[in-house]
Structure 1
Amino acid sequence: MPRSASQAVVGAAPGADDGLLLPRPPGVLRRFWARHPRFADVIVAVVAFLLSAPTAAIRSEYPIPPTLPQTVFAIVVVVGACVALLLRRSRPLLVFALAALPLVILPPSLVPASHLVPALAIYAVAVYRSVRACWIVFAATTAAMAVYAAVAGLAAPATWNYVLTSLVSGTIALLIGALIGINVGNRRRYLEALIDRSRQLLVERDQQARLGAAAERTRIAREMHDIVSHNLTVIVALAEGATATHDAARARIATAQIAGTARGALTEMRAMLGVLRDPDLSSDAPLAPIESASVADAVESAQRAGFPVVLHVEGRLDDVPAEVRFAVARIVQESLTNAMRHAPLATAIDVRIAVRAEAVELGIVNDGVRPRTDAAEPPARAGFGLPGLRERAAHVGGTLEAGAVEGRRWAVRAALPLPAHASAKAEQEENPR
């Protein structure tokens, strides 16, 4: 049978219960009883029998003394109720029903012999079941005892005083057992709730740590992809152009551009690694310096690689907050990278940026979508570019859509909202007085 949470608290050493640092309970006896619950139940049952059996066997105050068969029957019933106490932890209601039964089946002269066992049983109901169940069985048992006392008193009017005294003593015994049990049970349930909450917090902490690690890996992968993929794409395009040309001067220019692009990539990589090694880095800080990403630089790199990129900017992009401006540059950079990789035959790549009062709107469109010649040809495996673009837009609260439009055209459209102060400033720029 598994231990309850309260038993784990009493019997466990610090750090031995699912990683919880539980305090060691004071007292040798408490730890002993917690580790040996069955032995404690046997002790309780034996003590209850030793205190109840003499009361059932020796009666002298009642006007009508019990007969020998009645006394033997009382002892047997009390023994059965005491044996039932061994199940008080797992079946408290059943044990109480068996322990309270002698209160209404024994002769009035022997009823006091059964007062102690029901008190112990109702204590178990309060501890191992609930306070509500304890009060219900207390009320039901008290009512049954009152009816039994009334019937016995009417049958023998000379015994009224004794019957009433027995009723009061039995009610007090049940009440004492119920109150002690409620106190102990509430403390036990409170400890269980604390331990369950502690376990829940441990699980939530581990989950948050895993989610945080996954989010950080995704963030690092996104920055690495933006730096490496764009620059390598430009380098590959320049290298292919240098290889294809027979003009030594143009080849030297291309190789010089390759070296410059590679140096820029190394600079960005070193800057990102420096940010990652910063011990004071916050969880939402950009991994790459804001200044490392520029729309103009991305467009210029694509143009150097031989792609027909045209940039249109409406409004003042320099007035946009740095975080949004960084996202704009990364989205343009990755969109151009995708165009260079997947649309090498494009005759026009149009980049449009509009700074509105509420948001920055982007549109990157190229006409180099290649139609599929074979209907059975499997689609190309999805990469990380578009998911990274959507994550980038979502990071600043924006939205991004990408897909084929108007036949052989591919468009990436994004809307990145501006903070209130940036919106007001952009509105002043649009509507000068």
Structure 2
Amino acid sequence: MTSPRSRSDSIREDEELRLPRTPGVFRRFWARHPRLADILIALFCLIGHIGPVGFLVRETPIPAPFVMAAVLVAANATLLLRRSRPLIPLIAAFVAEAILLPLELAGGSPLIIAACYSMAVYVSNRAAWTSLGIGLGLLSVYAAVLVLTGGLAFQSAINSLLATIVLGLIGTLFGANVGERKRYLAALIERSRQLLVERDQQALLAAAAERARIAREMHDIVSHSLTVIVALSEGAAATPDVERARGAAAATAATARTALAEMRAMLGVLRDDSTGASSLPLAPMQAPSPLETVSAAQRAGYPVTLSVSGAASDESTLSHAISRIVQEGVTNAMRHARHATRIDVRVVHTEEEVSIEVTNDGVSPAEGEAGFGLHGLSERVAHAGGRIEFGPTDGGGWRLRATLPARNPVQKPAQGKPAQSRSADV
């Protein structure tokens, strides 16, 4: 029995699917009252058996007619199970045909039509044809036995079998047509429900991906900016030189303003709901270039060097990924390798890929402890189709290495000339 919750869920799904109403007043009525339809069909089939029972009353003594009537009533009553267990009415129909066969009343009964129709509609066409063939085969064997034993005339057996075959074919053909249409519509509705579920799942996945992207951007903005600000503030507080302290304070203010501008841009995207949630841009937020990241770390007093070689790509997504990888690597070095004597950043551009490496010789994070930044960086690199490695080195330092596939590279130099290459130490 269907629970009220499942019924309400089904109604809600049907409303969301906007299924059309069943055409016709009578069809809608029978669809709402299936049990009443089964009772009326059973009564109609029972009426078809009144003639044979009356013939028995005239030709045979009591109580044979009453036993026959009880059997036929029970056989027709099985039509109440035609939707849930259609095989039972079909068996009962052939049993009733076998009982009526010796009476030599050619013409059959409507029960066989309803049973074969129900088998085709509520099970399958194959099951209906198979069941009809088996039933007709057994009934033919029974009729042959009666003919051979003298209990039935040959012509009467042929007439009764032909009538049963015709009625069974009519019921099965109609049922096959209606059943195929019913199953086809059910498959279409189920597919529509699956599409609704997939649409909701895709929306959830898109929202989760967007939240992860925003979380990565927020982490990059906050983590790097606050690390630089803390370092500059500590340096300004520690130095007795007023000019250097003033310069550190100015650099702190500039870093804070840059972070504030990035935060405002991010929050502006989140608050822009004029066209709905789907208006969130897929383009990445503006990230500081590797040169800007290294310059900010140098102003904070860290020994950072930058080396860039090869022809850089003009693809914005790749440039953004490179900038964030450099920013995360330098920020981790500033936070966890405060006593490092050297922090090296190397970016190598080739025709096939871009390699980014950030190494330091100071105190490294504990092996296996990857924070939110490294997890987010791994997701970013995987999304870009690259690979990433990070961990302690043999010399007691830390190395972060990421490799990204090159996309939309700058046009190659003319053949015969050396490829343009630049290397800069900042």
RMSD: 3.0
Say which SS state the counterpart of residue 102 (structure 2) adopts: coil
Larger deviation, residues 90-99 vs 381-390: 381-390
Q: Find the aligned partners of 1:18 and 1:427 in 2 and give their Cα distance.
A: 65
Q: Find the aligned partners of 2:36 and 2:418 in 1 and give their Cα distance.
A: 87
Deviation at 1:25, TM superposition (A): 1.4
Aligned to 1:168: 162
Q: What code does the residue aligned with 2:253 have?
A: A
2:42 to 45, 49, 55: 45
Q: Find the aligned partners of 2:365 and 2:186 in 1 and give their Cα distance.
A: 65
Deviation at 1:34, TM superposition (A): 1.9
Matched, 1:411 2:405: no
CA displacement 1:135-156 (0-9 Å, x = unmatched): 0111111212222333333344
Aligned counterparts, 1:16-95, within 5 A: 17=14, 19-58=16-55, 69-95=63-89
Aligned counterparts, 1:112-261, within 5 A: 112=106, 115-156=109-150, 159-261=153-255
Aligned to 1:301: 296
Contact 2:116 2:171 in 1 (8 A): yes
Q: What code does the residue aligned with 1:213 have?
A: A
Contact 2:368 2:391 in 1 (8 A): no
Q: What code does the residue aligned with 2:17 have?
A: L
CA displacement 1:274-325 (0-9 Å, x = unmatched): 5553978877732313xx42110000000001100011111133x4422212
2:354 to 349, 356, 360: 360
CA displacement 1:44-65 (0-9 Å, x = unmatched): 11111122222332379xxx96
Q: Find the aligned partners of 1:335 and 1:430 in 2 and give their Cα distance.
A: 35
Q: What code does the residue aligned with 2:391 have?
A: G
Aligned counterparts, 1:390-401, within 5 A: 390-401=378-389
Identity over aligned pairs, percent? 48
Q: What code does the residue aligned with 2:103 have?
A: S
Aligned to 2:307: 312
Larger deviation, residues 96-105 vs 84-93: 96-105
Deviation at 1:343, TM superposition (A): 1.3
Matched, 1:422 2:417: no
Contact 2:343 2:358 in 1 (8 A): yes
Q: Find the aligned partners of 1:300 and 1:46 in 2 and give their Cα distance.
A: 93
Deviation at 1:75, TM superposition (A): 2.0
1:327 to 312, 321, 333: 321
Q: Find the aligned partners of 1:189 and 1:256 in 2 and give their Cα distance.
A: 75
Q: What code does the residue aligned with 1:384 have?
A: F
Contact 2:284 2:320 in 1 (8 A): no
Deviation at 1:395, TM superposition (A): 2.5
Matched, 1:386 2:374: yes
Q: Find the aligned partners of 2:206 and 2:142 in 1 and give their Cα distance.
A: 68
1:285 to 282, 285, 291: 282
Contact 1:53 1:113 in 2 (8 A): no
Larger deviation, residues 363-372 vs 235-244: 363-372
Aligned to 1:376: none
Deviation at 1:113, TM superposition (A): 7.7
Q: Find the aligned partners of 1:341 and 1:239 in 2 and give their Cα distance.
A: 14
Matched, 1:402 2:390: yes
Superposition TM-score, scaled by structure 1 size:
0.86
CA displacement 1:204-257 (0-9 Å, x = unmatched): 111111111111111111111111211111011100111111221111111011
Larger deviation, residues 266-275 vs 22-31: 266-275
Contact 1:355 1:426 in 2 (8 A): no
Q: Find the aligned partners of 1:114 and 1:362 in 2 and give their Cα distance.
A: 87
Say which SS state the counterpart of residue 266 (structure 1) adopts: helix
Aligned to 1:375: none
Superposition TM-score, scaled by structure 2 size:
0.87
Aligned counterparts, 1:98-109, within 5 A: 98-109=92-103
Runs of 5+ in structure 1 lacking a partner?
Answer: 373-378
Q: What code does the residue aligned with 1:77 have?
A: V
Say which SS state the counterpart of residue 409 (structure 2) adopts: helix
